[in-house]
């Protein structure tokens, strides 16, 4: 499943808020962030876990997600005991491939028969609705900032790109949104001038999305 670049693998199960994925391993469940949660929170996200051995009652906080664009708790509708936690280094989710290859916590349900999660069409419907609700666009690299330039002349956009990238370090990434029909040509030109990588480019209706990275 993919919605605006936000991946939701078919072989995983998800909580009702689509913040975490769940992978069943015998009597245990390995849990990690979804692309929806990662892109909502942004590049500076941090995750707070419960200590090993903690017993989490149904509906209580299992994880806290804190980021530039989102703060919230992951709550499961069934009780669990925390078996183990994984160390998550800063910037671990900047690359979209890491979202589903990096687990956060390993738990064991208190009552196996009480486990409930979303999968298949139910997960797809919920995920698509949330991506639309939040206006999410997931890319191969998480941007450091977003520039929405609707109704803005390209000369103004390029001036802002020069200013922002001029004071930014190597590797800095901007998600640029533009409705200017000449944007693809102008972005190619400014990328050559400023030594930028055009990591991704998409068009949705009359709107262009560019992911630009400073070399």
Q: Residue 95's pLDDT band (boundaries 50, 70, 90)?
A: confident
pTM: 0.87
Question: What is the rounded CA–CA span in Å between residue 130 and residue 194?
Answer: 35
Given a cut of 90, is residue 153 above it in pLDDT? Answer: no
Return the H-helix or E-strand segment holding 191. Answer: helix 183-194
Q: Residue 92's pLDDT band (boundaries 50, 70, 90)?
A: confident
Which of 122, 117, 115 shows the shortest CA–CA distance to 28? 115
Given a cut of 90, is residue 27 above it in pLDDT? Answer: yes
Q: Which residue has the higher pLDDT, 44 or 109?
A: 109
Given a cut of 80, is residue 123 above it in pLDDT? Answer: yes
Which of 103, 115, 102 shows the shortest CA–CA distance to 27? 115
How far apart, in Å, do the first and last CA atoms of the chain sit? 32
Q: Residue 132's pLDDT band (boundaries 50, 70, 90)?
A: very high
Given a cut of 80, is residue 51 above it in pLDDT? Answer: yes
pLDDT on residue 100: 93
Which of 184, 172, 185 shows the shortest CA–CA distance to 143? 172
152-160: average pLDDT = 88
Given a cut of 90, is residue 178 above it in pLDDT? Answer: yes
Alpha helices by DSSP H, listed for the chain, are 35-41, 120-134, 154-166, 183-194
Phi and psi of 134, rounded to 5°? -90, -5
Question: What is the rounded CA–CA span in Å between residue 38 and residue 101?
Answer: 13
89-101: average pLDDT = 81
Least confident of 4-8, 43-47, 89-93, 211-215: 89-93
122-132: average pLDDT = 96
Q: Which residue has the higher pLDDT, 153 or 58?
A: 58
Given a cut of 90, is residue 155 above it in pLDDT? Answer: no
Phi and psi of 202, rounded to 5°? -135, 155
Q: Residue 44's pLDDT band (boundaries 50, 70, 90)?
A: confident
């Amino acid at each position: 499943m993919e919605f605006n670049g936000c991946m939701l693998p078919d072989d995983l199960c998800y909580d009702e808020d689509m913040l975490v994925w769940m992978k069943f391993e015998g009597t245990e469940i390995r849990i990690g962030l979804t692309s929806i949660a990662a892109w909502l929170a942004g590049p500076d996200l941090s995750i707070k876990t419960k200590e090993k051995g903690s017993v989490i009652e149904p509906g209580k906080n299992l994880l806290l997600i804190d980021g530039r664009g989102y703060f919230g708790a992951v709550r499961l509708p069934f009780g669990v005991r925390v078996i183990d936690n994984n160390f998550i280094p800063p910037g671990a989710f900047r690359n979209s491939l890491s979202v589903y290859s990096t687990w956060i916590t390993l738990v064991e349900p208190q009552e196996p028969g009480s486990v409930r999660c979303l999968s298949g069409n139910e997960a797809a419907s919920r995920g698509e609705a949330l991506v639309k609700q939040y206006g999410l666009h997931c890319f191969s690299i998480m941007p450091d900032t977003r520039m929405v330039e609707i109704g803005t002349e390209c000369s103004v956009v390029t001036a802002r790109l020069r200013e922002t990238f001029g004071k930014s370090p190597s590797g800095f990434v901007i998600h640029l949104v533009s409705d200017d029909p000449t944007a693809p040509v102008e972005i190619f030109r400014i990328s050559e001038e400023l030594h930028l990588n055009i990591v991704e480019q998409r068009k949705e209706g009359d709107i262009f999305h560019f992911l630009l990275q400073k070399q």
